[in-house]
Structures are given as structure tokens and as C-alpha cells.
């Protein structure tokens, strides 16, 4: 499909159309699609919960995994997941089955594939601390089963070429004390719902927390007086200063302006250069450089 609007597929409800867009419901379909476009890299969209798409579009063909990739199954000591499986479904299945260790993903929106790419979790723990293996396909048709040591997981990221498409993962989830599992999930969910924003379009934490002992990102944004600041339809949430919300009709450019201004002020006032947690599609290199998004 050509010129497919992406805004509705992003949690921010922001983003221009994709020049080409396809859904792949099976590995065979995925391989056919990749062959059709000559093995060039594609942009893989998960739940759009950590992604800012340019108003001019993503700058390349976009792929969503669907069908069999949405499945997941609780096994003896693990959960077998398709990369398009909703994280919330996987986490609630672990919780109901009294399985250990997935509470760090409680109330984290998106898909398993997005979580693998982001090493989603808390400041202390990421999904790769639990991944037994993940299978990835490259646009040239090569498929590999990867372990933790192959992807170099770090705080909110991994060292793996962006061309890799995660298909499946096996996540450790051994049986635990059901009451403790329930209590831990409940406690974390409650804390997140109380402190973060779930009732407005947002992509969660905008900036990574700098290394300790520096203050956390929200404290820095607060310190420079940007909490509540608005550009067009985008606002730094009055509830959580590290979240930017779309209060109505926001453009990607509005979010960029808020981010650039925040980063500049934090740098001037504290000497700290914030690094974005969110990923960007379709922006020129100079914008990414200004945001600190080029590693
Ligand atoms: C209210 C709220 C709270 C949040 N809380 C947390 C939190 O506590 N901890 C945390 O870590 N994050 C948090 N997030 C951010 C977000 O939920 C996570 O980063 C999540 O893992 C994103 O998954 P996604 O499927 O939406 O990825 P997307 O936003 O769709 O994509 C993110 C990146 O992953 C890549 N990607 C997606 N699927 C695949 C795949 N199959 N193969 C290869 N690459 C892929 C994309 O290309 C992109 O580069 C929060 C977000 C919100 C809105």
C-alpha cells in the first residue's frame, strides 16, 4: 500500500504518511515482502509507543508484523512470544500464571519486538535480563537466534543493526510464589499509573535518565522551568515532566521544538546533555544531532 497515514498507529497520534506500508502475518509473507523490495531495510513499527514520526513521513517503507507474530504461549519455565504480541498480554499472562520476573514490564505499552529493540524495563532491569533467545531476520533473508551476549543490552537500547527484524523470543518466566508475584505486579502498576500519563497521547519518557549521581531527566526538565511548557498542540506534561503529551492537533515539529528548547536549557543551566529515549523516523541528520539522537 502507498501513502498510508501513520498517525493513528502511533501513541502520539503524530506522523506523516508512509510511502509504502505492509503487514506480514507469517514468516513466508515477510520474506516475500522483503524480496519484493529487493532486500532493502524496512522500518518496523510495533505499538508506536516510543516513536516520533516526522510530519513529512517516516522516510522509508514501513512494516508491521501481524497474524502469527501476535501469538504468545506460557510454557513450563518461559513464555514464547511473537514479536507483535502485546506486552500487556504477555505480562498479564505471566502475572495470572504466578510467573517470576516480568513485573519490570508492568504497564509498559507496546509490543515484544519494540521492547526487545528498546531493552524496555526499569532503570535497574531490562527485558534482555530475561530473554533466553530472540530470533531476528535481516532484509537479505539471513535469520539468526540471538542471546544476550550477541546484542549488548544497555539502558534503553541494544547494539544491534536497526535492519534486524525481531520475529520471536523466548522469555524466562519460572513459576514463583503466586502471592508475591501478584503483589509485585500490583505495586508497580499502581505506582506507574499514579506517576505517569495513561489518559493522553504520549510516548512515555522523552529523555533517558543521565548516569547517577546526576538528577533524573524529569528533575532536570523541572529545574529549567519547562514542566507544562507548550508548543502548538504539544505540552510537557504537568503531571510528569519527562512526558510530552499531544493535547490536540500536535505536529512532530511541535514536539521537536519542545525537545530542542529543553535540551538547550538543561545544558546551559546544568552542563548535562540529555539523550532522547524515543526513536525518530524521517528527520534530517542536523535535527537528530541537535536532539542528541545520533550515537
Ligand atoms: C505511558 C507509557 C509508559 C511507558 N513506560 C515505559 C517503561 O516503564 N519502561 C520502558 O522501557 N518503556 C516505557 N515506555 C515506552 C514504550 O512503551 C517502550 O519503549 C516499548 O518497548 C515500545 O514498544 P513498541 O512496540 O511500541 O515500539 P515502537 O514504538 O513501535 O518502536 C520502537 C523501536 O523499536 C523498533 N521495533 C519495533 N518492533 C520491532 C521488531 N519486531 N523488530 C525490530 N525492531 C522493532 C522500531 O523500529 C523502533 O525503532 C512507556 C510508554 C508509554 C506511552
In the structure, what pLDDT confidence band is assigned to residue 38 with cuts at 50, 70 and 90? confident
Query: Residue 82 falls within a domain, yes or no?
Result: yes
Query: Residue 134 falls within a domain, yes or no?
Result: yes
- Element housing 264 (H / E): helix 252-270
pLDDT tens string 77-117: 999 999 999 999 999 999 999 999 999 999 999 999 999 99
What is the CB < 6 Å shell around ligand 1?
A: 11, 43-51, 65, 83, 108-111, 113-115, 117-118, 120-121, 165-166, 196-198, 202-204, 279
**Residue 163, SS3?**
coil
Boundaries of domain holding 231? 198-291
pLDDT at position 127 over 80:
yes
Q: Say if strands 43-45 and 62-65 run parallel, antiparallel, or are unpaired.
A: parallel
Nearest residue (CA) to ligand 1, atom 50: 204
In this structure, are 268 and 239 located in the same domain?
yes
In the structure, what pLDDT confidence band is assigned to residue 185 with cuts at 50, 70 and 90? very high
- Please say whether the beta carbons of 244 and 206 come within 8 A: yes
Query: Residue 163 falls within a domain, yes or no?
Result: yes
Nearest residue (CA) to ligand 1, atom 11: 120
Domain-ending residue, one of 13, 43, 67: 67
In angstroms, the CA 262 to CA 270 distance is: 12
Which residues in 128-148 are b (16+ Cβ under 10 Å) and which e?
A: bebbbebbbbebeeeeeebeb
CATH code, 43: 3.30.43.10
pTM of the model: 0.97
In this structure, are 104 and 206 located in the same domain?
no
Domain-ending residue, one of 26, 50, 67: 67
All 3 cell numbers of residue 25? 502475518
Total count of domains within the chain: 3
In angstroms, the CA 237 to CA 228 distance is: 5
- Please say whether the beta carbons of 19 and 3 come within 8 A: yes
In this structure, are 167 and 204 located in the same domain?
no
Cis peptide before 213 (omega within 30 of 0): yes
Between 140 and 145, whose confidence is greater? 145
Q: Which of 284, 206, 193, 195 is nearest to 238 (CA)?
A: 195
* Residue 2, pLDDT score: 81
**What average pLDDT does the segment 1-6 reach?**
87
In this structure, are 169 and 202 located in the same domain?
no
Domain-ending residue, one of 41, 67, 93: 67
| Max intra-chain CA distance, the chain | 53
**What average pLDDT does the segment 54-59 reach?**
97
**What average pLDDT does the segment 60-78 reach?**
97
**What average pLDDT does the segment 197-214 reach?**
96
In the structure, what pLDDT confidence band is assigned to residue 41 with cuts at 50, 70 and 90? confident
* Residue 58, pLDDT score: 97
Pocket test for ligand 1, best of 6, 65, 67, 120 (most atoms within 8 A of CB): 120
pLDDT at position 295 over 80:
no
Within a 13 Å sphere around the CA of 182, how many CA atoms are in the beta-carbon half?
Answer: 6
Pocket test for ligand 1, best of 58, 63, 113 (most atoms within 8 A of CB): 113
Task: Return the active site residues.
Answer: 156, 205, 277
pLDDT at position 190 over 80:
yes
* Helix spans in 86-235 (H): 87-96, 112-118, 148-151, 178-195, 217-223
Amino acid at each position: 500500500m502507498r501513502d498510508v497515514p501513520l498517525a493513528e498507529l502511533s501513541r502520539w497520534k503524530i506522523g506523516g504518511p508512509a510511502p509504502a506500508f505492509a503487514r506480514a502475518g507469517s514468516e513466508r509473507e515477510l520474506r516475500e515482502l522483503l524480496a519484493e523490495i529487493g532486500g532493502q531495510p524496512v522500518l518496523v513499527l510495533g505499538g508506536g509507543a516510543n516513536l516520533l514520526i516526522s510530519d513529512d513521513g517516516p522516510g522509508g517503507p514501513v512494516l508491521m508484523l501481524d497474524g502469527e507474530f501476535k501469538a504468545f504461549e506460557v510454557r513450563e519455565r518461559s513464555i514464547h512470544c511473537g514479536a507483535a504480541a502485546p506486552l500487556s498480554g504477555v505480562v498479564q499472562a505471566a502475572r495470572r500464571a504466578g510467573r517470576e520476573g516480568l513485573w519490570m514490564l508492568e504497564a509498559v505499552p507496546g509490543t515484544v519486538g519494540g521492547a526487545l529493540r528498546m531493552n524496555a524495563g526499569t532503570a535497574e532491569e531490562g527485558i534482555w535480563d530475561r530473554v533466553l533467545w530472540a530470533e531476528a531476520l535481516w532484509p537479505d533473508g539471513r535469520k539468526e537466534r540471538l542471546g544476550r551476549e550477541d546484542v549488548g543490552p544497555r539502558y534503553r537500547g541494544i547494539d544491534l543493526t536497526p535492519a534486524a527484524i525481531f520475529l520471536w523470543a523466548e522469555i524466562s518466566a519460572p513459576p514463583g510464589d503466586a502471592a508475591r508475584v501478584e503483589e509485585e505486579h500490583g505495586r508497580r502498576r499502581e505506582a506507574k499509573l499514579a506517576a505517569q500519563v495513561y489518559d493522553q497521547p504520549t510516548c512515555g519518557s522523552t529523555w533517558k535518565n543521565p548516569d547517577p549521581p546526576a538528577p533524573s531527566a524529569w528533575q532536570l526538565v523541572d529545574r529549567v522551568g519547562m514542566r507544562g511548557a507548550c508548543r502548538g498542540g504539544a505540552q510537557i506534561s504537568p503531571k510528569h515532566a519527562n512526558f510530552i503529551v499531544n493535547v490536540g492537533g500536535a505536529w512532530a515539529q511541535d514536539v521537536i521544538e519542545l525537545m530542542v528548547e529543553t535540551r538547550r536549557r538543561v545544558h546551559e543551566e546544568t552542563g548535562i546533555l540529555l539523550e532522547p529515549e524515543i526513536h525518530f523516523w524521517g528527520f534530517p541528520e542536523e535535527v537528530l544531532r541537535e536532539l542528541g539522537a545520533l550515537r
